[in-house]
Amino acid sequence: MKKLTILPIAAELTNTLDYHTLSKLLSNLESHSLEFNNWSESFPYKPEVQFKIGYTQEYLVLQYDVVEEQLRGNYSETNQNVWEDSCVEFFISFDGRKHYYNLEFNLIGTGLIGYGPAEKTSRNRLDIATIEQVRTYSLIERNGSDKRWSMIEVIPFAVFQFDDLVELKGKLIHGNFYKCGDHLKQPHFISWNKIENPTPNFHLPEFFGEMVFG
């Protein structure tokens, strides 16, 4: 099982910040790779993906950096099927993997967030107003065949409305980070922590890694 420490960010994340300013604030955080192509026999394509994660008193902050051959951002409305686009996902559990939030955003910052246990029929999407509290900042680069995109997500802890997150320092939580693109020319399903399942499925909290707030 992979483990990481979520380090604090010593800055006020106001609404006036832009992508480049936020990226500089996160520059000292450790980069982690999504290295597991869990279903490589059926889906051999593997984009390059790295992420950083940090926090303030009010926000969890994620930065993804992606290199892939096709960029797709068809969905622009909250809670649409963003996993069919160029999409990054973060699943996080604060109660020992019993329940978890799935945060899924495509490259243009359209998101959906769900919550519940692993049984998908028991999970529910959060309301649009809550999801749209998440601020996203995207940078997309196309240079011939070289296609790259980065996204920073500033996630208020208030979004995690089913958990009481008063004191975070030292708290152990669980989660996994993913990159997918179900309707891309070369679909792919890669993860930070390894998943052992015969078919693609990210909703398996038993394969979440460990994270500690530093």
14: pLDDT strictly greater than 90: no
146: pLDDT strictly greater than 80: no
C-alpha 202/C-alpha 189 separation (Å) is 8
Lowest mean pLDDT among 12-26, 129-143, 170-184, 192-206: 12-26
Secondary structure element (H or E) that encloses residue 92, with its range: strand 87-93
Q: Please tell me which residue, 81 or 145, carries the higher pLDDT value.
A: 81
pLDDT score of 135: 97
140: pLDDT strictly greater than 90: yes
Residue 148's CB: how many other CB atoms inside 10 A?
15
pLDDT band at 180 (very low <50, low <70, confident <90, very high): very high
pLDDT score of 214: 97
The proportion of the chain whose per-residue pLDDT surpasses 70, expressed as a percent, equals: 100
Mean of per-residue pLDDT scores for the chain: 96
